[in-house]
Structure 1
Amino acid sequence: MWLRKLLNIKSHSDSRISFANQFPLSTSREKSAKEALTMYKSAIDNLAHIRDSILSSNIDIQLFFQQEVEPVYRDYMKLLLKDSNPNLKEVIQINERLQTAQLENFLNCGKLDLIALNDIPDLNSAYGIIHIIDLDETIEVIVQSSDRSLHHYSVEANIVKDNVSDLLWSLQDQKLATIDVQQILLPSQALYEKLIAPIASYLPASGTLIFILDKSFQSIPMSILYDGKNYLLEQYSIAATLGSRIRYPKPLSKKRFTALIAALSKPSPSLLDRNAPKGVRSLPKAKEEVKDVQSHTQSSLTLLDEKFTTPRLEQEISKNNFPIVHISTHGQFSSDPLKTVLLAYDKVINIREFDKLLKGKIQTDADAIELLVLSACQTAKGNKRSTLGMAGVAAQAGARTTIATLWLVDADSTALLMEEFYKGLKNGIPKAEALRVAQLVLMKNPKYAHHYYWAPFLLVGSWL
């Protein structure tokens, strides 16, 4: 039955071309457009009904989703935006469904327990929600202001994607710390001018910007965008979400500063695993980071080096309640689940194993982890959708907020950042703002002013 529905979706997908070709010459263009929109909506609704069947099937069906079904979502959004007065709310909802379906497909899991931003009644008034959607020929930017009004801007994709590629090329370079700052500033400023400047008047003067990013934009820290004088980070705290859906946001209570800290500071068997990121070495200064986190939490349990094994990690998480889980180890985020990994002392843990490791705890206490910090991780070089892996880890952990790094960072500067970050949390500062303040401390330190030190930190999920 579900295969017949899949084929039905495929026929809807094929029919979209004939509808699009009719528009310029048809005498009943409006009717054809409405029929096409109805077909797209029906196809996507059918897909929602059979998601579980797809996810439990073989890899060919999952590949079918990526190659044949995903374009249906995007073409539906294109068609919606052709209207002279487009239904922006519907575009956002379809993009939201696409992003969530992508993650479920990546994780090979059932429906995730996420809530749409618009279903949160008490959002902080000083915020802006920015959707950046890649529709192949165009990049669509939709901003939701603090009064919940929607505003839309469209830009040709070819004048944006070159800057994205240039910026990613620099940020993923192993010699990033020595790259001329101008190599980063030029594409960062160009992206600001093309994506942010046209909608800047709809944004608050300060507060939090929440980004819902598509494709290769997910691997760019939006904090790095530059208006010619200042970085976006200097004006706003910044959070990223998956398709504008997150776990219900709430602040970290001062009474819940109990942490599980796991770290690798010396060579381990996992470094030799064939699935470990290439060229990684031990992290001797991870011990200092551990001490800093310990000093800023009420109580903590530390698994350092030989104690940081998968059985021990599973044991501690299953029997104890740790609102904060801080892991300082090598890791890699990729759009390939098997290459999205964290290194314990004994072995490499890929994202599917990470799910099994945490599943028992999540089933009994969905809010067990308020804050998951993944220090010393990196995105897979050349993989433009690698932060799908980061969102996947956050979802598997059941974490309300996840902070991770987009590239392998300097140990000394990271220790300083973490010290400032946890200090801010203890003082009651919201997570995204605490991270911003900590990043600014690095930025204003001449020793750490280069983007390499302060820019890689990304907050996914709740900003409160």
Structure 2
Amino acid sequence: MKQVIRRIGLWLVLSLFFASVVHAAPLDTALDQGRVTEAVPLIEQTWEKQYEDYFRVNFPDPTITAADVAKTLSQLATQTGQKPALIYVVPRAKQLELVLISPGQPPVQKRVAAAPASVLLPKVKQFSLAITDPRLKPSNQYLPAAQQLYEWMLSPLEAELAAQKIDTLIFCLGVGLRTLPLSALHDGQQFLAEKYSLSRIPAFTLTDTLYSDIRRAPVLAMGASSFKEHIPLPSVPVELFLVARNTKSRRFFLNQDFTLANLQRQRTSQAFKIIHLATHADFQPGSPRHSYIQLWDDKLQLNEMQQLRWQNPSVELLVLSACKTAIGDRNAELGFAGLAVQAGVKSAIASLWYVSDRGTLSLMSEFYRQLQTAPIKAEALRQVQISLLRKQVRIENGQLRSSRGPFSLPPELAGQNEDLSHPYYWAAFTVVGSPW
């Protein structure tokens, strides 16, 4: 029965993909003829329209060219000391198209004939299913798919990336790829997260590219540990305590204090640049109203988030520490990849799947330590992922061991040692929106 369901799900994804191809004739022609400079604004327009249709909004429609993107990336490289590149990954019926834009350079197009959508999308599904179950034996069953996807999506561009000393990759992904755990792609020796800071965006025109240093930004930390309709999150009180401690916040808000009214009240009292919500957040099939963030007493639906007016005062970063996404569903991936835009924040950090309580606690407690010194948000997350991968952050003998030293966990969280080096624990978390 599971195999039948998976096949039906794959068939639906492919049907939606091929349906979208029918409406992309100008883009297809530009890509087929190698007119990559012409293709870039067409990619932007095509994908922006997909997000407009999903969220039922009209985004501002500025004309953007490959030269505009390259110029912006150059400015950000100067401001941040990090050298970024944008990669459009365009799945098509007969091949995969890659378009690379780097600072001050003309765009580069690479065609991967070995990866048509009918081959690529099942491999993505296989990879996602394997990596989200750390109980599989052997534990590296995800690796062949991780290496194959790397070969298709990164290897054709490696020479250009190395020659230009790129250290930050911004992925703009097409249908079926928007919830791909990018950081766990593997070149045979290293994970992608060991080589680059990473983020995913819905479109460059939908990304806030203004840089702001948030290393000392105030954090509003809120969350819930018990729910009526969800499994409990017993680590949340400890997570919020550690977030508050590591950011020198004066307090945090738990359970009954985690309401929409209090969230708005705290935002009115202080211009928090970072909002950390330790609670369930589900990105589900269907319309945006089916996806939500669970508050103590209510659900905040995805289609309601713009009403929060988080642009004034502006929120630089929204962190959701216990998310779950219907991987492989076109609408769910639109909701996830469009999270920052819909929430009205510059960037979001969220998980593609629900990670264990202690794994989330370990990653989040270390993230805010790294955020105090990293030049950009995506680099802070990368450093945390590497720390888990290399077991520098770990749970051992009832203690959370990290860069700040050991922290004794309460008995309900102590339990057995957990190997947090598996990508299940760290590859779920991703930057959505601006990496800066």
Q: Fold conserved (TM > 0.5)? A: yes
Q: 1:382 to 1:146 in 2, by over 3 A?
A: closer
Aligned residue number for residue 39 of structure 2:
91
Structure 2 matches for 1:9-20, cutoff 5 A?
A: none
SS at match of 2:362: helix
Q: Is the 8 A contact 1:114 1:247 kept in 2?
A: no
Q: Distance in 1 between matches of 2:215 and 2:63?
A: 25
Q: Distance in 2 between matches of 1:376 and 1:329?
A: 6
Q: Is the 8 A contact 1:327 1:374 kept in 2?
A: yes
Question: Which range moves more in the overlay, 118-127 or 424-433?
Answer: 118-127
Q: Is the 8 A contact 1:134 1:214 kept in 2?
A: yes
Question: Which range moves more in the overlay, 101-110 or 182-191?
Answer: 101-110
Q: Deviations over 1:101-148 (max 9, x none)?
A: 222222222325999644625031622221101223321111123442
Aligned residue number for residue 383 of structure 1:
329
Aligned residue number for residue 183 of structure 1:
141
Aligned residue number for residue 370 of structure 1:
316
Residue 249 of structure 2 is aligned to residue 299 of structure 1? yes
Q: Whose helix fraction is larger, Structure 1's or Structure 2's?
A: 1
| Structure 1 gaps, min length 5 | 1-65, 272-279
Q: Is the 8 A contact 2:224 2:278 kept in 1?
A: yes
Question: Which range moves more in the overlay, 379-388 or 201-210?
Answer: 379-388
Q: Deviations over 1:315-349 (max 9, x none)?
A: 33355421010011111123531221111111222
Aligned residue number for residue 132 of structure 1:
89
1:155 to partner: Cα distance: 2.2
Pick the aligned partner of 1:247 from 171, 188, 208. Answer: 208
Q: Distance in 2 between matches of 1:250 and 1:122?
A: 10
Aligned residue number for residue 159 of structure 1:
119
Q: Distance in 2 between matches of 1:226 and 1:379?
A: 22
Q: Indicate the percent of aligned positions where both proteins have the same amino acid.
A: 28
SS at match of 1:247: coil
Aligned residue number for residue 100 of structure 2:
143
1:384 to partner: Cα distance: 4.6
Aligned residue number for residue 52 of structure 2:
104
1:390 to partner: Cα distance: 2.1
**1:248 is aligned with what amino acid?**
T
Aligned residue number for residue 9 of structure 1:
none
1:262 to partner: Cα distance: 1.4
**1:233 is aligned with what amino acid?**
A
**1:412 is aligned with what amino acid?**
R
**1:210 is aligned with what amino acid?**
I
Q: Distance in 2 between matches of 1:345 and 1:79?
A: 51
Q: Is the 8 A contact 1:377 1:406 kept in 2?
A: yes
**1:344 is aligned with what amino acid?**
L
Pick the aligned partner of 2:175 from 215, 221, 224. Answer: 215
Q: Distance in 2 between matches of 1:381 and 1:68?
A: 19
Q: Distance in 2 between matches of 1:135 and 1:67?
A: 8
**2:322 is aligned with what amino acid?**
A
Aligned residue number for residue 10 of structure 1:
none
Aligned-pair Cα RMSD in Å: 2.5
Q: 1:351 to 1:399 in 2, by over 3 A?
A: same
SS at match of 1:215: coil
Question: Which range moves more in the overlay, 448-457 or 298-307?
Answer: 298-307
1:67 to partner: Cα distance: 9.9
SS at match of 1:386: helix
**1:415 is aligned with what amino acid?**
L
1:217 to partner: Cα distance: 1.1
**Number of equivalences:** 379
Q: Distance in 2 between matches of 1:220 and 1:377?
A: 15
1:237 to partner: Cα distance: 0.9
SS at match of 2:200: strand
Residue 240 of structure 2 is aligned to residue 284 of structure 1? no
Pick the aligned partner of 2:300 from 343, 349, 352. Answer: 349
1:192 to partner: Cα distance: 0.9
Taking structure 1 as the reference length, the TM-score comes to 0.75
| Structure 2 gaps, min length 5 | 1-15, 395-418
Q: Is the 8 A contact 1:115 1:248 kept in 2?
A: no
**1:263 is aligned with what amino acid?**
G
Q: Deviations over 1:248-294 (max 9, x none)?
A: 23133344x2121111112x33x2xxxxxxxx401010111101110
Aligned residue number for residue 431 of structure 1:
377
Q: Is the 8 A contact 1:106 1:392 kept in 2?
A: no
SS at match of 1:200: helix
Q: Is the 8 A contact 1:210 1:239 kept in 2?
A: yes
Q: Deviations over 1:394-425 (max 9, x none)?
A: 11322111110001012222222222221122
Structure 2 matches for 1:17-96, cutoff 5 A?
A: 70-71=20-21, 73-83=23-33, 86-96=34-44
Q: Distance in 1 between matches of 2:24 and 2:31?
A: 11
Aligned residue number for residue 331 of structure 1:
281
Residue 416 of structure 2 is aligned to residue 443 of structure 1? no
Aligned residue number for residue 194 of structure 1:
152
Q: Distance in 2 between matches of 1:196 and 1:433?
A: 19
**2:302 is aligned with what amino acid?**
I
SS at match of 1:219: coil
Question: Which range moves more in the overlay, 300-309 or 185-194?
Answer: 300-309
Q: 1:420 to 1:249 in 2, by over 3 A?
A: farther
Taking structure 2 as the reference length, the TM-score comes to 0.80
**1:247 is aligned with what amino acid?**
D
Q: Distance in 2 between matches of 1:397 and 1:75?
A: 32
Question: Which range moves more in the overlay, 97-106 or 294-303?
Answer: 294-303
Q: 1:421 to 1:332 in 2, by over 3 A?
A: same
Q: 1:346 to 1:431 in 2, by over 3 A?
A: same
